[in-house]
Structure 1
Amino acid sequence: MRELSVYYCPKCGYYGYYQLQRNAVCPKCREDMVTLSISYQDFMDLSCEARDELLSAHIIAAASPYVRRLLAPHKTNNNREIIARMGDRITELEIENEKLNKTIEWMHQTIWELMRKTKGLDPGNKESSETGIDP
């Protein structure tokens, strides 16, 4: 049995699930529907907003150059979207920075432990207490 594929109408955005290409006809526009490059299960796992964004991106990409020219200023001047993306990026960088700081702290502790062992400066070692050297 063939697996279901996700199809959408490039004209109105209606989408449906079909096994065969010949069955994929938009019930609203009577246009042939186009296959989405995502598996049925992955599409089902998306939220409604993510599905809408995916379909919108495909419809705009397939749109005429005129539509793309109309939408170009919106993309470059959409401050709220830019700020939201920047906020997400800041959060990602803060998480990455925290991980790197923990790694550095771990490396620093490991290096000092190795230095103490190689120079005989273990706190429990008599030799280190006799020389009066503090790590």
Structure 2
Amino acid sequence: MRELSVYYCSKCGYYGYYQLQRNAVCPKCRVQMAPLSISYQAFMDLSCEDRDELLSQHIIDSSSPYVQRLLAPHKENNSREVIARMGDRITELEIENEKLNQTIEWMHQTIWELVRKNKGMVPDDKINPDQGIDP
């Protein structure tokens, strides 16, 4: 049995799931629907907003060059979208930076404990392997 594929209408945005491409005809526009380059399961895993964004992008990509030229300045000057993406990226980088700082701090403490142990500054019985040097 063939898997379901996702098809969409490039005119109205209607989408549906079909096994055969010949069955993929838009019920509103009565035109042949185009397949999406995503598997049925991956499409089902998307949120409604992500599905709408994917379909919108496919409709814009398949539209006439005139429509694409009209939308080009909007894409370049859409500061809200750019700011939102930059804000998300900043948050990701701050989280990553915090993790790296914690790792560096742990490594620094471990290295100094080993230096003290090797120099004989701390007796071996004062070192707890799980927690470092006992106070």
What TM-score, normalized to structure 2? Answer: 0.88
The aligned residue for residue 58 of structure 1 is: 58
In structure 1, the residue matched to 2:86 is: 86
User: For residue 87 of structure 1, what is the amino acid of its counterpart?
Assistant: G
Q: Which amino acid aligns with 2:111?
A: I
Q: How does 1:16-27 map to 2 (within 5 A)?
A: 16-27=16-27
Residue 71 (structure 1) aligned with residue 68 (structure 2): no
Distance 1:2 1:125, change over 3 A: closer
Task: Supply the distance in 2 between the matched residues of 1:104 and 1:3 (Cα, whole angstroms).
Answer: 49
What per-residue deviation string (whole Å, max 9, x for no partner) do you get for residues 1-29 of structure 1? 11110000111111000000110011111
What is the RMSD of the two structures over their aligned residues, measured on CA atoms?
A: 1.5
How many residue pairs match? The answer is 126
Aligned-partner SS, 1:6: strand
Give identity over the alignment, percent.
83
Structure 1: which 5+ residue stretches go unaligned? 127-135
- Aligned pairs for 1:1-135 within 5 A: 1-122=1-122
Larger radius of gyration: 1
Q: Distance in 1 between matches of 2:95 and 2:48?
A: 28
Moved over 4 A (4+): 123-126
Distance across 2 between alignment mates of 1:120 and 1:35: 71
SS, match of residue 12 in structure 2: coil
What is the alpha-carbon distance in structure 1 between the residues aligned to residue 5 and residue 117 of structure 2? Answer: 63
Q: TM-score, normalised by structure 1?
A: 0.88
Moved more, 117-126 or 47-56: 117-126
Secondary structure of 1:66's counterpart equals helix
Letter of the structure 2 residue corresponding to residue 41 of structure 1: Q
